[in-house]
Structure 1
Amino acid sequence: MDSKSTELTKREEINEVVECCLLAGKLMLQGGAETYRVEDTMMRIAATYGFENSHSYVTPTGIIFAVDQMEATRIIRITERSTDLQKVTLVNSVSRGIASREITIQEAHEQLHKIESTTHAYPIFTQIAAAAIASGCFLIMFKGGWHDFFPALVTGGLGFIFFLYVSRFVNIKFLSEFLSSFVIGLLAVLFVKTGMGQELDKIIIGSVMPLVPGLLITNAVRDLMAGHLVSGLSKGAEAFLTAFAIGAGVAVVITFY
């Protein structure tokens, strides 16, 4: 084999490893993983195949990755992010399989594509039921009375249904949280006005908890502690705006109440 063919084979190998690293990072970032975890996974995969000097820069909206032997730096754009920790776990399993040499790069690529094409989220009905029950339980946790458990359960469930509906048809960030909290406020006021509920504040607090970006806040703090200031601040800003939208929706109802 001449030097030109060897160089071509080497370049194809580099491209395959880089594609696998980018796909793994993309899936983890879309699933809600921390920035430092995404970077560490990508660099470990590259190091397994002899590319010790890989470089990655991850933000919530994009990934930049390169190895020293590659002429061009690769970049991908992240447009959709959600909370899917099962997907993060599956990608971690694939990366561990690569590190232990249990699977080849081709097998890893196939498994990652399978993870990407598979929906790991719970059915809509299960999500709604969980949000409703969680709303009632949060009300009790915040020292609300059992007489308000059912109003909080219904309010939280209907508010989450509205959140899913708006998120599906309106592609405007933070609008779904604002409108959902507005509906939750209206329903809570309705329950109190009709005498079915007693403590308006406890019902609203319990019902909006399924909308609170808890994972986003946690990841922002962990990224800041790990030294990823850009990612930490951007995630913190997104969490703040989401919380502001939730509070604003409730505040509009309380103002007129």
Structure 2
Amino acid sequence: MLSNQLYDEQKVKDVAMLAGRILLESGAETYRVEDTMTRIAEFYGLHNTHSFVTPTAIIFSLNEKSSTRLYRVSDRTTDLEKISEVNEISRAITSGKVSLEAAKMALDILDKEDLQYKFWLKVLSSGIVSLLFLFMFDGSPSDAIPAFISGLAGYYICEQIGAYFKIRFFAEFAGSVVIALIAIACVQYFFSESIDKIIISGVMPLVPGVPITNAIRDMMAGQLIAGITKGVEAALTAFAIGAGVGVVFIIFGGSI
């Protein structure tokens, strides 16, 4: 009986940890990760659980006698579709609609799936977003094409550098450099009018809006360490974007 109980606890821990890891790697708030893991464990009668989640690690224990698990999370992205799918599986577990084995299988399949949009579509969308922000900032029609190109090119460079060079914040720095160079070139050699509006519109796809929102939500939920960590990460990302634009202006400022 004891061996079966321990086996069941290990299976519960497997499912809870897997669900938490997918959520954290997909950009979910830390309080959501802890709440999901706790609810899954409590449904199977394991009420004395302890979880501690930061943006880079998950620590989970079922009780004082059970071994504690630690999972390190190094790669994080924003995948709202996976977050939604994990939430659906979690609700199905707690409502008794699926067995533990079926939930584990569904989470394994979800973990291996790539639900991100195609890269070319994300690049194209970044250009469209920059174009829309230009008109929101009351930009002129002559700045429309430069804003579209700068947003598209900046996002492309940021993603490509981020994929090959694992240096935090350097990708955003390089992307903003490209955006500023395109804006200056279009104003000097073509018919564009406003450098500042082109640059502001172009960097909008790089702005860490989701991390800022998650940092605030974690702080409001009492997750101070996670909230501060995400807030600092978002601030450094914004600083890298501003630094890239600033470097270009320092180098080419005299010729503008």
**TM-score of the aligned structures, taking structure 2 as reference length:** 0.97
Which runs of structure 2 are paired with 1:218-233 in the superposition (5 Å)?
218-233=213-228
| Aligned pair partner of 1:165 in 160, 176, 179 | 160
Shift of 1:196: 2.9
- SS of 1:53 mapped into structure 2: coil
AA aligned opposite 1:176? A
1:156 corresponds to 2:151: yes
Structure 1 gaps of 5+ residues are 1-5
Which runs of structure 2 are paired with 1:64-213 in the superposition (5 Å)?
64-68=59-63, 70-213=65-208
**CA distance in 2 between partners of 1:117 and 1:70 (Å):** 32
After superposition, the C-alpha distances for 1:118-140 in whole angstroms (9 at most, x for unaligned) are: 00100011101100000011111
| Aligned pair partner of 2:32 in 37, 40, 47 | 37
AA aligned opposite 1:244? F
CA RMSD of aligned residues (A): 0.9
Shift of 1:146: 2.0
Shift of 1:67: 1.0
Structure 2 gaps of 5+ residues are none
Extract structure 1 runs of 4+ deviating beyond 3 A: none
> 1:151, 1:196 within 8 Å by CA — same for their partners in 2?
no
- SS of 1:173 mapped into structure 2: coil
Shift of 1:250: 0.3
After superposition, the C-alpha distances for 1:62-116 in whole angstroms (9 at most, x for unaligned) are: 0111111643111100011000010000000000000010000100000001111
**CA distance in 1 between partners of 2:6 and 2:85 (Å):** 28
Shift of 1:149: 1.1
- 1:246 corresponds to: 241
**CA distance in 2 between partners of 1:223 and 1:187 (Å):** 37
AA aligned opposite 1:89? S
After superposition, the C-alpha distances for 1:181-222 in whole angstroms (9 at most, x for unaligned) are: 011111110101112311000000000000011000000001
Aligned length: 252
- SS of 2:58 mapped into structure 1: strand
Sequence identity of aligned pairs in percent?
Answer: 43
